[in-house]
Amino acid sequence: MQTMKSSIRSKLFLLVYGLILAFIAGLILLNNSFLENYYVKNRESSLIEAFSYVKDIDLNSGTMEYQLQSIENEYSLNIQILQQTDDLDPNYVWSNFDDVPDIFDRIYGDQFGIPNGIISKIIYDFSQQLLGTGSSYATEVSLGNDSEYTAYLMDIQSEFNHGSENMQMIGLCVSVDNGGDYDVFYVLTISFQSITDSIKIFNTFTILVGVIFMVLSFIAMYFISYSFTNPILQITKIAEEISNLDFSNRVDIHSDDELGDLGDSINRMSVQLEQNINDLQRTNDKLAKEILHKTDVDKMRREFIASASHELKTPLSLIMGYSEALKLSDLDEETKTEYLNIITDETNKMNKLVMDLLNLSQIESGNVDVNMMDFNIRNLIEDTVNMFGLVLKEKGIQLKVEIEDAQVNSDFQQLQTVLTNFLNNAIHHVDEKKSIVIKTETAENKAIRVSVFNTGINIPEDEINNIWDSFYKVDKARTRAYGGQGLGLSICRTTLDLLGYNYKVINHEDGVEFYFEVI
């Protein structure tokens, strides 16, 4: 970015300085080439314009001098009005203008402006029609529609070396035929400082002003370039951040120009791009989750089929084995009865497994109707405990119930299924202390917590999150001994998720606690 910044400022400086130098050089070139001619032409135009007023003045008027002086002051020129009185010898040798005889009478003016000898020479050239020729110092000019006037513009200083070398004198000589033998001559002259010196002074002043202006321009361009390049640098920085998918910053340009519009466009693009990328990311995340979920579902389906097949394989093998044994002819009645009891028992286990699988499938697919009703939590627990009265007595398990009356609104049947599995799980895993505790309490979220505790060994911490999975067994040998298939806790999890209740298993020092909370 620093390179870009330096490049832009350098280009701005070079551009401005180039324009300034070109302007100064062009101005000096124009001064040297055209200013002198322009100035002279301008003064010649002043002579012609002044004569347009002089010719209208009555030479016999008492106010003639006043009027002529006013014109002289206004146009900064000298006016001489002359009446020719004689002719010079055509072979007269012009050597010294001081000795030239006067061939005119002065109606207005004096000889301090132009010596009489030079005026005589001009009248002589006029009368001899020498003016306006190729080698002449005079150029004929038109005075409009006034045919009675014959006029010439002349460079008196260059022709006659009159006055100082640093002065220039140009004149307008007009001849007027007044009906007599000789014409009346109007000679208007302007003297001015040599334009060459003025051009040199003007050029020097131009260079001095240019240098000062360049210094001031440097200072001004420093701040102007900063105000110009800073928005560009800011836009470049934000654009680089956007290219790196960083949309946290915005272009902060408030100028009402193209840069401000560009900054607003980049901000809108950043917002829209960020939104589109976020939408795309959410879509990708959703798609990834769906793919992962599908993969997990496929994996769970394969594991489920494998586990269900394994669970069905054992009882089927026993049924087939004992069925083949019943075909033997030497079996007594007692043995046959025993074999039939085993077949019946394994059939019941298979039936329970199939029913549990159907129940689990219905809950997971959402095909189970939830019948919410108001009931006392005590009734739920007491009804469930009564179902296990005979089993508890046979196994010599001491059951302690610590419950309170509490009205809840939930699905009685579904909660009884959960509590039945919790209690059944506790009965099968209780240790030699044979102690089970069922109690209720109010949780921090004001929900009613129902917990089932049994004394016994803890569940390994690395397996505690897996016990809710279908067919998962911490102690496979023990589970097989009491006929469990590992579906009870999976049914509990699916049911409680369906109802939206919290549940958990906690290892205690002397046993394990399962609980769920009814909101």
Q: What is the pLDDT of residues 284-307, one digit of tens each?
A: 888 888 888 777 666 656 656 655
Ramachandran region of residue 347, left (φ > 0), alpha (ψ -120 to 50) or beta? alpha
In this prediction, residue 76 has a pLDDT band, given cuts at 50, 70 and 90, of confident
Helix (H, G, I), strand (E, B) or coil at 482: coil
Q: So what's the pLDDT on residue 2?
A: 46
Q: Taking the model in full, what pTM does it have?
A: 0.42
- N residues, the chain: 519
Contact 485, 304 (CB under 8 A): no
> Mean per-residue pLDDT for 160-184?
77
Most confident of 143-152, 227-236, 311-320, 372-381: 372-381
Most confident of 42-46, 112-116, 226-230: 42-46
In this prediction, residue 452 has a pLDDT band, given cuts at 50, 70 and 90, of very high
Q: Check whether 382 has a pLDDT greater than 90.
A: yes
Q: So what's the pLDDT on residue 478?
A: 42
Q: So what's the pLDDT on residue 70?
A: 94
How far apart are alpha carbons 168 and 182 in whole angstroms? 30
Local structure of residue 447 (DSSP, 8 states): P
Q: How many helices (H) and strands (E) does the chain have?
A: 13, 13
pLDDT > 90: percent of the chain: 21
Helix (H, G, I), strand (E, B) or coil at 177: coil
Q: What is the pLDDT of residues 465-496, one digit of tens each?
A: 888 876 665 554 444 444 444 677 888 888 88
Which residue is it, tokens 């976020």? 278
The pair of structure tokens assigned to 335 is 């043995």
The backbone torsions φ and ψ at residue 175, rounded to the nearest 5 degrees and listed phi first, read -105, 135
Q: So what's the pLDDT on residue 330?
A: 76
Is 431 or 368 the better-scoring residue by pLDDT? 431
Q: So what's the pLDDT on residue 301?
A: 63
Number of CB atoms found within 10 A of residue 242's CB: 16
Q: So what's the pLDDT on residue 481?
A: 41
Q: Check whether 315 has a pLDDT greater than 50.
A: yes
- List the CATH code of the domain at 370-518: 3.30.565.10
Q: Check whether 51 has a pLDDT greater than 50.
A: yes
How far apart are alpha carbons 189 and 171 in whole angstroms? 4
Q: So what's the pLDDT on residue 364?
A: 58
Number of CB atoms found within 10 A of residue 219's CB: 9
Q: So what's the pLDDT on residue 373?
A: 93
Residues facing 171 on adjacent strands = 154, 189
Q: So what's the pLDDT on residue 44?
A: 87
Q: What is the pLDDT of residues 383-423, one digit of tens each?
A: 999 988 888 998 999 999 999 899 999 999 889 989 998 99
Q: So what's the pLDDT on residue 363?
A: 60
pLDDT > 70: percent of the chain: 82
In this prediction, residue 161 has a pLDDT band, given cuts at 50, 70 and 90, of low
Domain boundaries defined on the chain: 55-193, 370-518
> Mean per-residue pLDDT for 80-99?
79
Q: What is the pLDDT of residues 194-211, one digit of tens each?
A: 566 777 788 788 888 878
Nearest to 417 by CA among 370, 367, 463, 349: 370
In this prediction, residue 68 has a pLDDT band, given cuts at 50, 70 and 90, of very high
